[in-house]
Amino acid sequence: MGIDNLFAALLRDFGQSDFWWQFGVLLLCLALAKLAEYLVKENKLSVGHAADRHWRIGHGSARRLAFPVIGMLLVIAARSIMRGWHPVNLLSIAIPLLLSLAVIRAVFYVLRYSFNPSGWLANFERTFATLVWGLVALHVLGLLPQLLDMLEAVTFTVGKQTLNLWMVAQGVFTVIVTLLIALWLSSVVDEKLSRAGELDGNLRVVFSRLAKAVLMVLAVMIGLPLVGIDLTTLSVFGGALGVGLAFGLQKIASNYVSGFIILLDHSIRLGNVIAVAGERGQVTRITTRYTVLKNVTGVEIIVPNEMLVSSVVLNESSTDPRVRFPLRVQVSNDCDVELAMRLVEEAAKAQKRVLPDPPPKASIVEFADNGIVIELGFWITDPESGTTPLRSDINLAIWKAFRVSGIEIPYPQREVRVLGGKGASPDGGVE
| Residue 266 shares a structural domain with residue 369 | no
Bridge partners, 215 (sequence order): none
For position 336, which CATH number holds?
3.30.70.100
Q: Please state, in angstroms and rounded to a whole number, the distance separating the CA atoms of residues 308 and 301.
A: 13
**219 lies in a domain?**
no
Same domain for 330 and 306: no
* Shared domain check, 136 and 2: yes
Shared-domain flag, residues 308 and 333: no
Name residue 367's amino acid: F
**φ and ψ at residue 287, rounded to 5 degrees:** -110, 180
List b or e across 14-46, with b for residues whose CB sees 16 or more CB atoms inside 10 angstroms.
eeeebbebbeebbeebbeebeebbeebeeeeee
What is the pLDDT tens value at each position of the chain, 431 positions in all? 445 555 555 556 665 667 777 788 888 988 998 888 888 777 654 444 444 555 566 666 777 788 888 888 888 888 888 877 777 777 777 888 788 888 877 877 777 666 554 455 555 666 777 777 777 777 766 666 777 777 777 777 766 667 777 777 777 777 777 777 777 777 777 777 777 665 566 667 767 777 777 777 787 777 767 666 666 655 555 555 566 556 656 677 777 788 878 877 777 888 888 888 888 888 888 877 888 898 877 888 899 988 888 888 888 777 777 888 899 999 988 889 999 999 999 999 999 999 998 899 999 998 988 889 999 999 988 877 778 888 999 999 999 999 998 888 887 767 788 886 555 555 554 44
Using a 10 angstrom Cβ sphere, with 0-12 exposed, 13-18 middle and 19 or more buried, the burial of residue 91 is buried
DSSP state of 2: -
Report pTM. 0.44
Q: Which CATH number goes with the domain that contains 291?
A: 2.30.30.60
Distances (CA, A) of 113 to 41, 49, 345: 19, 18, 59
Residue 175 lies in a domain: no
Terminal C-alpha separation, the chain? 124
> Do 313 and 305 form a contact (C-beta atoms < 8 A)?
no
Contact call for residues 379 and 322 (beta carbons, < 8 A): yes
Q: Which secondary-structure segment (H or E) carries 125?
A: helix 120-140
Residue 186 lies in a domain: no
Instruction: Work out how many domains the chain is built from and give that number.
Output: 3
Residue 205 backbone dihedrals phi, psi, to 5 degrees? -65, -45
- Residues 6 or more apart whose Cβ sits within 8 Å of residue 359: 345, 349
* 136 and 47 part of one domain: yes
Q: Which residue range is the domain that position 307 belongs to?
A: 260-315
Alpha carbons 309 and 255: distance in angstroms, whole number: 9
Judge whether 196 lies within some domain. no
